[in-house]
Amino acid sequence: MVIPAAGRGVRLGPGAPKALRALNGTPMLVHAVRAMAASRAVSLVVVVAPADGVPEVKHLLDAHALPERTDYRVVAGGDTRQESVRLGLDAVPGDVDVVLVHDAARPLVPVETVDAVVEAVRDGAVAVVPAMPVTDTVKEVEPAGGPGGPEPVVATPVRARLRAVQTPQGFDRATLVDAHATIALAGEGATDDAGMVERLGAPVVVVPGHEEAFKVTRPLDLVLAEAVLARRRA
The window from 74-82, 90-98, 154-162, 226-234 that contacts ligand C5P (CB under 6 A) reads 74-82
**Nearest partner of 194 among 138, 125, 134, 135, judged by Cα:** 125
The Cα 102–Cα 170 span in angstroms is: 9
- Least Å distance between CB 48 and ligand C5P? 5
Q: What share of the chain is helix, strand, coil (3-state, %, to 5)?
A: 40, 20, 40
The window from 93-101, 103-111, 168-176, 195-203 that contacts ligand C5P (CB under 6 A) reads 103-111
The Cα 87–Cα 197 span in angstroms is: 17
The window from 37-45, 51-59, 61-69, 77-85 that contacts ligand C5P (CB under 6 A) reads 77-85
Residue 26 interacts with ligand C5P (CB under 6 A): yes or no = no
- Least Å distance between CB 102 and ligand C5P? 8
- Least Å distance between CB 197 and ligand C5P? 17
**Nearest partner of 46 among 183, 37, 65, 166, judged by Cα:** 37
Give 48 or 74: the residue with its C-beta nearer to ligand C5P: 48
Residues lying near ligand C5P in the complex (CB under 6 A): 4-7, 18-19, 48, 77-81, 84, 103-105, 217
